[in-house]
Every structure is written in C-alpha cells, then in structure tokens.
C-alpha cells in the first residue's frame, strides 16, 4: 500500500450514535473500503465529546482521519469494516 492517506467519500458519512462511530467509504490505491472512526478518536482529535455533532467534528478533522485510516487498514486489509480506534493514534 503506497498511499499515506485514504480518499474519503464524504457522501457516505453516517453517524451511528448507538455504536458511537461515524461510518464512511474511502479509497486507497484504487480499492474502496468501508471504514468507521470511533467517537473516542474524534474526541481525542477535537477535545470535544461527539454526539449529534459527530459528522461536523469528522469534517473538521478529515485530514487526520484520512491518515489514520491507512494505519488501521494496514493492520488487516481483509476486514469487512476497517475501524479506526484510539490504538491508531500516535
């Protein structure tokens, strides 16, 4: 995987309050993947507790999330849903 960030399809953003994550589709090296970023990551990036405004926080930190997505994908590129968690933060 040569790319250092994913290309996020912002049309696919979905705030899943029950699972406490924002799901989205992204592309890396011409392949589309399903991603989700946990609220804990959004909180760490923004210093705000996400809930109804999770997508707004996602948009504010999309560049960092795009980079973290590649880190999460590298752990297991065959997973159906790539979950970006606090473990992916440096």
Provide DSSP, 18-46.
Answer: TTTEEEEEEEETTEEEEEEEEHHHHHHHH
Structural domain of residue 54, as residue ranges? 7-88
**Which of 38, 52, 30, 29 is CA-nearest to residue 81?**
38
Look at residue 1 and tell me if it is in a domain. no
Is residue 32 a part of any domain in this protein? yes
Whole-model pTM: value is 0.92
Tens of each residue's pLDDT in the chain, 90 residues: 457 899 999 999 999 999 999 999 999 999 999 999 999 999 999 999 997 899 999 999 999 999 999 999 998 889 999 999 999 997
Pair 54, 65: CB distance under 8 Å: no
| Count of domains forming the chain | 1
Main-chain dihedrals φ then ψ at residue 26, nearest 5 degrees = -145, 165
Distance CA 72, CA 63 (A): 15
Enter the tokens of residue 69. 């997505």
Give domain status of residue 60, yes or no: yes
Instruction: Classify residue 66: in a domain, yes or no.
Output: yes
CB 41 within 8 A of CB 48: no
Q: Report pLDDT for 76.
A: 85
Is residue 40 domain-resident?
A: yes
Report the CATH number that the domain containing residue 40 is assigned in CATH: 3.30.160.140
Question: Domain for residue 45, yes or no?
Answer: yes
Instruction: Tell me, yes or no, whether 36 lies in a domain.
Output: yes
């Amino acid at each position: 995987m040569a790319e250092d960030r994913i290309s996020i399809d912002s049309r696919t953003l979905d705030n899943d309050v029950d699972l406490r994550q924002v799901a989205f589709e992204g592309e890396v090296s011409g392949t589309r993947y399903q991603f989700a970023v946990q609220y804990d990551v959004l909180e760490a990036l923004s210093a705000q507790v996400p809930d109804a405004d999770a997508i707004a926080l996602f948009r504010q930190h999309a560049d960092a999330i795009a980079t973290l997505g590649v880190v999460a994908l590298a752990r297991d590129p065959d997973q159906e849903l790539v979950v970006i968690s606090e473990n992916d933060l440096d």
